[in-house]
Amino acid sequence: MVVGDFPIETDTIVIGAGPGGYVAAIRAAQLGQKVTIVEKEHIGGVCLNVGCIPSKALISASHRYEHAKQSEDMGIVSENVTVNFEKVQTWKQSVVQKLTGGVESLLKGNKVEIVKGEAYFNDDHTLRVIKEDSAQTYTFKHAIIATGSRPIELPTFKYSERVLNSTGALNLKEIPKKLVIIGGGVIGIELGTVYANFGTEVTILEGAPDILGNAYEKQMTSIVSRNLKKKGVQVITQALAKGVEEKEDGVVVTYEAKGEQQKLEADYVLVTIGRRPNTDEMGLEQAGVKMTERGVIEIDKQCRTSVSNIFAIGDIVPGPQLAHKASYEGKIAAEAIAGHPSEIDYIGIPAVVFSEPELATVGYTEAQAKEEGLDVVAAKFPYGANGRALALNETDGFVKLVTRKEDGLLIGAQVAGVSASDIISELGLAIEAGMTAEDIAMTIHAHPTLGEITMEASEVALGTPIHILK
C-alpha cells in the first residue's frame, strides 16, 4: 500500500462509523470486499457515544433510584437513598467504552481499515480524508455515506454551558434542581424522565397539541403524560419558545402559550427539537449526489443515490432517524454492492420510546390503516390482566394488534407498558413473516410472562379471549 501523494485504492469506502456505517463495513467485508471506513470522531457514532446507549444507561440508573425509593407497596422500605451522580456518569461511560471498544475489535477482526479524519469527495470515485496535520486521497469502486445527523440549533437558543443539546444533557456533572426542555419528542421525554426520577423539577415546552408527535396514538401518549404528571413534570403543549437569558448560575426561558408570554427560571435549558442530516461540507456536489433542500439524500430500494456507485444510509436518507434502520440499510447497501438482490422494506421496522411506561410501534397504527382504506380489526389486551405484569407491579399499558379483517393478517402493532421495547420484536417478526392473529394465538407462550399479552391480544382479535370478557 502506497501512501503520501499517491492515492490508496479500496473496493468500498464507508464514511461514518455509527450503527449504519460500521454494520455496512462489516457486511461488505464478509462479502469479500476490501473495505475502508472513515470516522472523524468516535467509532460507534452518535448512537453508541452520545445517543442511544448512554441515554439508556442513565434511564436504567434513574429507574434503580426510583424503585429504591418507591417500593413500599411490595414491602420494601429504603431510607436515605442517595445518588452519587459522578459515579453514575462514570458507570455510564464504562458501558459506552465496552461497546465502542467491541465495535472497533469487530471492524479489525473483519479486516476493515479504520481511518480517522474528515472525508471530502473530489468526484464519484475519489475522495480526500483530511486530518489535523495531513491528508490522503482514496480511490474507490463504491462508497457508502453514513454520516448521521446532529441536533438542530435554534437561533434564539445558541448552545452553551447552560443551553444544552442532548449530548450536553447526557454529560452533566450535576443533577439540576430545575430543567426546562424545549421539545416533547422522544429525546425530550426520555431525558426529562431521567432527571425527574433523579429529583429534578422538569418543565417540558411542546409546540404541538400533544407529546411524541403523530407516531404514537393518543391512547399510548396519555399513559406517559399521566406518569410524567405523577413525577411532578409540567408539560405545556402548544407553547412557543421565544428566547433565553443566560445568567451565571442558570437561565430564564421566555415562551408563549395561550396568547400570553411567560418566563421560567432553571439551572439549564435542553433543546430537543430534532436533528439535521450531516451532508454539508463533504463535497457531495462534486460527486454528483443529489439532495433535497434539507440536505436529505434520495435513494432507491437498494440505498443507491443518484450516482450509481455511491450509496447512502441512516439519518441522511428519508424515513425515521433510527439506529436500527441505519443498520438494516447498511446491510442492504453492502449486499447490493456485492450483486445481491437485497431491497429495503420498512414495514417491519419498529420505533421505541424509553419513557415510563415504554412505548413501541411497528407497521400500521389503526388510524394509518384506515387512512389507507384498509378494513381492519383493532384488538387490545391490558397489562393489568397479565400475571407477570401484576407480579412486577407494572400494570400500566396494553398490547394492541391491527389485523386485516378479511384474513386476520397482522399489519401493525402497538405496545405501551413495561418491556414494550422487547415485546415489539415478536410482533415485528410476525409482520415480516406474514403471520395472522391465529398463528400468534396458536403459538404457545411461556407462563407467566409479559409475552403472553401478545397471545391474549391475538385471541381478542379472533373474538375468543380467555382472560378478559368479550
The verdict on whether residue 315 carries a ligand-binding annotation is yes
The answer to whether 434 is annotated as binding is no
The one-letter amino acid code at 262 reads Q
Length of the chain as a residue count? 470
The annotation status of 8 as a binding-site residue, yes or no, is no
CA distances from residue 394 to 21, 67, 387 in whole angstroms, order as listed = 37, 12, 10
Burial grade of 215 (CB within 10 A; 0-12, 13-18, 19 or more): middle
DSSP 308: T
> 414: part of which helix (H) or strand (E)?
strand 410-416
Helices (H), 72-134: 85-109
Q: Is 274 annotated as a binding residue?
A: yes
Q: Which SS3 state, helix, strand or coil, does residue 373 take? A: coil
- Spatial CA neighbour of 313 closest among 20, 4, 57, 66: 20
190 known member of a binding site: yes
Residue 223 labelled as part of a binding site: no
Q: What is the dihedral of CA 59, 61, 62, 66, to 10 degrees?
A: 130
- Long-range contact set of residues 78-87: C-beta below 8 Å, sequence gap at least 24: 83/175, 83/198, 83/199, 85/172, 85/173, 85/174, 85/175, 85/198, 86/173
Q: Count of CB atoms within 10 A of residue 156's CB?
A: 12
Is 9 annotated in some ligand binding site? no
Residue 340 annotated to the active site: no
Q: How far, in Å, CA of 274 to CA of 359, rounded?
A: 19
- In 3D space, the residue among 45, 144, 455, 121 whose CA is nearest the CA of residue 287 turns out to be 121
> Does 422 carry a binding-site annotation?
no
AA letter at 348:
G
Asked whether residue 183 is marked as a ligand-binding residue, the answer is yes
Residue with cell 397482522: 410
Q: Which of 63, 142, 447, 467 is catalytic?
A: 447
Is 463 one of the annotated binding-site residues?
Answer: no
Sign of CA dihedral 73, 76, 79, 85: negative
408 is in an annotated binding site: no
Confirm whether residue 26 is marked as ligand binding: no
Q: Is 185 annotated as a binding residue?
A: yes
Which cell numbers hold the place of 204?
417540558
Q: Is the peptide bond before 19 cis (omega within 30 degrees of 0)?
A: no
Annotated binding-site residues for FAD read 56, 147-149, 315
Active site residues: 447
Annotated binding-site residues for NAD(+) read 183-190, 206, 274
Annotated binding-site residues read 56, 147-149, 183-190, 206, 274, 315
